[in-house]
Structure 1
């Protein structure tokens, strides 16, 4: 079986590739020209270059593949030109799925995000059925993923596609080359740059568990269904204290109210527009911090056999990798 993996050189994509190889899949990795491919070094895979906005490259990539794992996405909390993000995450996803269907693929797994799901009051974990709508979602990345998932579900219904959607939570672990926004939290804490926190929460999962969840979805998922791939629900303070516990460097931190952070984030965005660099915090991300983004993977556990290790193991592996890779 030959599987095409988009976003193959990324944090989650490269972990998915390792799972597929271990399961005996042949892998074709789809990467952007000129992108950093250190996560793919020495892996026994075929690599093809292309762009989700280039339909010709998509048709070339899917040819001869039996399965698709569409992991790629433009994942940034702030973008100077949001239209590019929607072109990649929404239009590009539609074009790729249609190309895969035309090529006769017999299985597709689309990587969405828990960002597309609703949140419950009182910090109760949300599931796949928790209501959500575009108006309640803050930020171009999350809005683009919501629209992309809606597009995928429409294609599944219209064309009876053998496609399963997975909704990963917050991945942490090795090979976070970029690093991701969550990886930056770990690094900033290691460097003593997290003296304060906002009272928010995340669902933390090891990136390799999330990757294995993709394989389980490919094997056992029901077409048209979506599955949360998550781990432990933790407040941001608990995440920071866990890092302190691992490093043996306890730190006293102050709780900064969201209303105080909002003008700071606004200033950061103004500076970002001038310098064309991604801000540490955005207005949308701070607004989202008013809610604890807690989720349950009970459906994936029940229907796919998905399991996740304790979040502290994911954080340990991330710290170890950052240290070995020279980030610290």
Structure 2
């Protein structure tokens, strides 16, 4: 029986990964910033009793480094991302957690005897022409990256440097798209979007396309990468290309709630986002749409078609239908609100 250490274990991806690891017979050490949050995410007695919950924060690796002893593999899913819809600049946090935290984590894992490290990267590290098919070789220039995207590029670089330092270390990279699904306790921007749809807070249809993926499919990709992946390789798990208007129609079919019909022009989006950020700062709440979100939406529009042939060949990766993911996500969020 293998022992896995999972960072970000209470998050959308991490929680689904933990459940899948347990189902497949792994022993799991689950890193969570608080035991209370772990108990909320893994609410059933069966789930929580099967886990070893490790309290700790990616900004302070030394607090939990000893718990890496005896582990066979580290699945690194933790990341700082909330600036995408809270607004403002957050480079200090992005660097501390996504970049420095990753570098310190892989070093601590190696010193603890762990020789397998599966890193959750992002489609953020890739770029390509509008309308083109993007694969793992098309690395984004840092000059074309916002702060979050840059943090993911540098995070990957920290893992690659560890591979250069330690010839006996196995590591590879999984690159997910916009993850949705059940278990979004945070919530992430995906869960926030779903909640906003359910509560009628979306004023219209913004422009843009997305690579939509179920977090459970990404979790599966992480485990298969640990078993079958090749050292140093990137594997796309971006999911399905979808336009926002089509995604909203999927939500309408699943929920029975009519989708907004009015298209929101880009110029209006900038005004709305600016107002939302100002309001969020004054009220201490999350912005429904921040300036960073609008900038990203317009920059990446129609750059969301990804070539999964390597992942399909090496890992046997496939993706469930979008409507199935939306239905499960909606059910989970509604139950969470009633709890």
TM-score tier after normalising by the smaller chain length = over 0.9
Partners of 1:142 and 1:260 in 2: how far apart? 25
Partner of 1:180: 188
Q: Quick check: 1:54 aligned with 2:60?
A: yes
SS of the counterpart of 1:325? helix
Partners of 1:191 and 1:278 in 2: how far apart? 15
Which of 285, 291, 294 matches 1:283?
291
Partner of 2:154: 147
Partners of 1:163 and 1:302 in 2: how far apart? 18
Partners of 2:334 and 2:59 in 1: how far apart? 36
Are the equivalent residues in 2 in contact too, given 1:11–1:176 (CA < 8 A)? yes
Distance 1:278 1:135, change over 3 A: farther
Runs of at least 4 residues of structure 1 off by over 6 A?
none
Are the equivalent residues in 2 in contact too, given 1:195–1:253 (CA < 8 A)? no
Distance 1:59 1:136, change over 3 A: same
Partners of 1:119 and 1:40 in 2: how far apart? 39
Partner of 2:205: 197
Partners of 1:249 and 1:29 in 2: how far apart? 37
Q: Quick check: 1:100 aligned with 2:109?
A: yes
Q: Quick check: 1:321 aligned with 2:337?
A: no
Q: CA deviation at 1:300?
A: 0.9
Are the equivalent residues in 1 in contact too, given 2:3–2:26 (CA < 8 A)? yes
Q: CA deviation at 1:79?
A: 5.5
Partners of 2:217 and 2:175 in 1: how far apart? 13
SS of the counterpart of 2:53? strand
Partner of 1:231: 239
Q: CA deviation at 1:176?
A: 1.1
Gaps in structure 1 of 5+ consecutive residues? none
SS of the counterpart of 2:108? helix
Q: CA deviation at 1:316?
A: 1.0
SS of the counterpart of 1:36? helix
Distance 1:150 1:260, change over 3 A: same
Cα RMSD, aligned residues only: 1.9
Q: Quick check: 1:70 aligned with 2:76?
A: yes
How many residues were matched structurally? 326
SS of the counterpart of 1:197? coil
Partners of 2:255 and 2:77 in 1: how far apart? 32
Partners of 2:98 and 2:119 in 1: how far apart? 11
Which of 249, 269, 294 matches 2:305?
294
Partners of 2:308 and 2:338 in 1: how far apart? 32
Partners of 2:203 and 2:291 in 1: how far apart? 20
Q: CA deviation at 1:81?
A: 4.4
Distance 1:266 1:250, change over 3 A: closer
Partner of 1:307: 318
SS of the counterpart of 2:19? helix
C-alpha deviations, 1:242-295, integer Å up to 9, x for none? 010112333342111222211321232233333343322122221121223332
SS of the counterpart of 1:318? helix
C-alpha deviations, 1:99-125, integer Å up to 9, x for none? 111122131101111122113312x33
Partner of 1:156: 163
Distance 1:35 1:167, change over 3 A: farther
Distance 1:121 1:174, change over 3 A: same
Distance 1:325 1:53, change over 3 A: closer
Q: Quick check: 1:220 aligned with 2:231?
A: no
Q: Quick check: 1:248 aligned with 2:256?
A: yes
SS of the counterpart of 2:190? helix
Q: Quick check: 1:10 aligned with 2:17?
A: no
SS of the counterpart of 2:37? coil
Q: Quick check: 1:112 aligned with 2:121?
A: yes
